Structure 1
Amino acid sequence: MANLLRRLTRRAAAEDAASSALLTVVVPAYEVEAYLAECLESILAQSHRALEVIVVDDGSTDGTGAIADRIAARDHRVRVVHQANAGLGAARNAGTLLATGDYLTFADSDDLVCPGAYALLVGTLERTGSDLAVGAVERFDGQRSFMTPLMRENHERSSYAATVEDQPLMLADVFAWNKVFRRSFWDAAGLSFPVDVRYEDQPALTRALVGATAFDVLADPVYRWRIRSDGTSISQQRGDLRDLSDRILTKRWSTATVLERASEPTRTVWFARVLPIDMWEYFRAVPGCSEEYWSLLREGVEEFWGPETVPFERTVLPWRQRMMGWLVARGLRAELEDFLAFLDRHPDGLPRRVVGGHEVVDHPVSDRPDLPEELRRP
């Protein structure tokens, strides 16, 4: 009970401190007529009332622009910019240029901001003087809400005035919308989003986290990231060649920042835990992919995970993912497809056998003599 009272007292103090600080919320919007109103209502209902909301209608052809205009007509805190379609990064940059707040944040137009989120984030920055504050994220669809294991690990407890050297795993939190930035820091660091490329969050947020003198990490959920049932979000297009190309490019940009500015221990965490997190989704897309896709995937794995960094089989990932990466690195496409089919045939558990007194998974490539020892026993 005492801990709960202290937490509530801190939250009330944070809200009081944040009450007069102007926060600009940049909301890029494209073809989201089904979601935009709910998103904006979650922002305008925030207990932190000193808001400037800039909606950038990025050339929508549906009712998105009209919905934004209607909401702006009834709430003076909302401004709407209509522009030709230029992509998410360009829309965010356009909104940032118009922002006048002492603090800056972003929200995607199909998501929701948790009640009280901005009061907590801004209040924390007012109290600590850090460059940015980061809150936890929940994913949600029509049936459930959940937090990914890595998000839960990063936000298990609140910490203040941290750096990437203190918490290198925060480099995996490369989302723009669960953070509030001190605008003076954003400008001094020369931050912006790459244009005409997907996954523009990663290079921009890697630069922000590595460049911050200090950041605050809150255990509280501040943002709800929608899983679209129609499969139209960018993060649901892994089998597309352009998607893979953009992923590799943004990983390259982010890696350059880490190599230039982070310590050796942080670099090891980067290659072993952060950089490979999402690669399994591209490995899964190999069956039926083009030769161009396969070649690009191999090149990407060879570029980032080799003898000079961390070979993919030695990354800190689940065994299945490390197996996939090893097969890609060796150019064993047919074997990878057999392995993926094997996993699909055994959704409830993989068959085992005993070899040399040790239990191993009995899978299509388990008897290869060149299989690394760390992959023989999950």
Structure 2
Amino acid sequence: MVSIIVPVYKSEKTLRRCVESLCRQAYADIEILLIVDGPPDGSGILADQLAKEDARIRVINQPNRGVSRARNRGLTEAAGEYIRFVDSDDYVLYHGLDEMVRRIEQDGSDLVIAGFDHLYFGQKIEKLPHTNACIELASSYEDLKQLYMGGFLNMPWNKLYKKELIREQFPVDLNLGEDLLFNEAYIRQAARISVLQQPVCEYIQDDRGTTLSTKKRNDKVETALLLYEKTKAFFQSCYPDVGQFAFLADKVCTTFLDEVEGLGFAKDMTYAEKRAAVAEYAKQTRAFLQREGIRKPELTLLDYRIVFFFLRRQQIGMTMLMIRLRAMVVEIVRRRKGV
């Protein structure tokens, strides 16, 4: 049996669609654990109603404690041999779980990592891993590196876990990156990983109009540096013979650049505040690269490379100009696409 853990919070508009997709999927030997995390809307009432419609659904109520604690509660309540996590605003594909169970049993593996469809502002982007193989973790450094760089280790909802191998729960003291750390802790217990080159769910993202406060931006950068150290230790423990893991530093630089470029959309900040934030990011970026002995990170996107050129040289005025131009282009594209 597969235990499917679904944290429920402020999901009154999406929960039914999510749960009905779970109930309709091809693989039927499941239990659905709806962890109702003290929502202020009608999500809890809807969860109770859904449980009356399918005997495989179980509702577990708790005071609002956050998504990590909700998932951890699900782990303690789960009765299945396998564990799958699903977000309450996502949609699972009909054959996804069926194929994941088939692969983990056929390959004799400890984990399945699958692809997904990313619905961003109504646009579907198919995200697939680089291979469709079963990899031996001890001899598959390049494969694990590719999965990390592709972003396939960052989330729990594209994976199938064995409950018996879960030694550590989700960290509860982080607002970002807790899923990555959970996956790294789990992979340390694994010997073989089945990589499934097909989408198993739709991940829905629509963050229009959202901006981060200065504190949250600073927290995100600090978390990126913490995750860098943790992930470097993870790869070192898995592959002690590999000398350096420069690609991890590339991820940190990407986080800095995401935050810098995001300032172009921050309507809650004055020009002076944005300029001060860019100056601080420039200082932090330079200090990080010097500390890690990195001359030039590998940045794939052209806009990253352009902004980084000026940011690293602490040319704040030119950096500001570049992020303003980028924000204008993005807004024009969004308007033309009607999103």
Structure 1, unmatched stretches of 5+, are 1-21, 348-378
Q: Which residue of 1 aligns with 2:262?
A: 285
Q: Which residue of 2 aligns with 1:252?
A: 225
Distance in 2 of aligned mates of 1:339 and 1:194: 37
Question: Given that residues 26 and 54 in structure 1 are in contact (C-alpha distance below 8 angstroms), is that contact kept between their aligned partners in structure 2?
Answer: yes
1:161 corresponds, among 135, 138, 153, to 135
Question: Given that residues 177 and 227 in structure 2 are in contact (C-alpha distance below 8 angstroms), is that contact kept between their aligned partners in structure 1?
Answer: no
Question: Given that residues 3 and 84 in structure 2 are in contact (C-alpha distance below 8 angstroms), is that contact kept between their aligned partners in structure 1?
Answer: yes
Q: Which residue of 2 aligns with 1:322?
A: 305
Q: Could you tell me which amino acid in structure 2 is paired with residue 184 of structure 1? A: E
Deviation digits for residues 70-125 of structure 1 (CA, Å, limit 9, x no counterpart):
11122121111222211111211121121121111111101111111111112211
Question: Looking at CA atoms only, which structure, 1 or 2, has the larger radius of gyration?
Answer: 1
Distance in 2 of aligned mates of 1:80 and 1:300: 45
Which secondary structure does the structure 2 equivalent of 1:323 belong to? helix
Deviation digits for residues 313-361 of structure 1 (CA, Å, limit 9, x no counterpart):
43232232023234334443322111223445667xxxxxxxxxxxxxx
Q: Could you tell me which amino acid in structure 2 is paired with residue 166 of structure 1? A: E
Question: Given that residues 33 and 64 in structure 1 are in contact (C-alpha distance below 8 angstroms), is that contact kept between their aligned partners in structure 2?
Answer: yes
2:3 corresponds, among 16, 20, 24, to 24
**Structure 1 length as normaliser, TM-score?**
0.73
2:160 corresponds, among 169, 180, 201, to 180
Q: Could you tell me which amino acid in structure 2 is paired with residue 319 of structure 1? A: L
Question: Given that residues 121 and 180 in structure 1 are in contact (C-alpha distance below 8 angstroms), is that contact kept between their aligned partners in structure 2?
Answer: yes
Structure 2, unmatched stretches of 5+, are 331-339
Q: Which residue of 2 aligns with 1:243?
A: 216
Shift of 1:127: 1.6
Runs of 4+ in 1 over 6 A off after TM superposition: none
Shift of 1:298: 4.2
C-alpha change, 1:221 and 1:252, in structure 2 (3 Å) is same
Q: Give the alignment of 1:335-354 within 5 angstroms.
A: 335-343=318-326
**Aligned-pair identity (%):** 20
Deviation digits for residues 22-47 of structure 1 (CA, Å, limit 9, x no counterpart):
11111111111000010011111121
Question: Given that residues 89 and 195 in structure 1 are in contact (C-alpha distance below 8 angstroms), is that contact kept between their aligned partners in structure 2?
Answer: no
Q: Which residue of 2 aligns with 1:359?
A: none
Distance in 2 of aligned mates of 1:265 and 1:120: 37
Distance in 2 of aligned mates of 1:211 and 1:324: 40
Which secondary structure does the structure 1 equivalent of 2:7 belong to? strand
Q: Which residue of 2 aligns with 1:145?
A: 124
Question: Given that residues 26 and 94 in structure 2 are in contact (C-alpha distance below 8 angstroms), is that contact kept between their aligned partners in structure 1?
Answer: yes
Aligned residue-pair number: 312
Q: Could you tell me which amino acid in structure 1 is paired with residue 205 of structure 2? A: I
1:71 corresponds, among 50, 54, 76, to 50
Deviation digits for residues 114-142 of structure 1 (CA, Å, limit 9, x no counterpart):
11111111221112222210110111267
C-alpha change, 1:99 and 1:315, in structure 2 (3 Å) is same
Q: Could you tell me which amino acid in structure 2 is paired with residue 318 of structure 1? A: L
Which secondary structure does the structure 2 equivalent of 1:81 belong to? strand
Distance in 1 of aligned mates of 2:255 and 2:244: 19
Shift of 1:51: 0.8
Q: Which residue of 1 aligns with 2:249?
A: 271
- Aligned residues: CA RMSD: 2.8
Q: Which residue of 1 aligns with 2:333?
A: none
Question: Given that residues 103 and 183 in structure 1 are in contact (C-alpha distance below 8 angstroms), is that contact kept between their aligned partners in structure 2?
Answer: yes
Distance in 2 of aligned mates of 1:121 and 1:229: 30
Q: Which residue of 1 aligns with 2:110?
A: 131
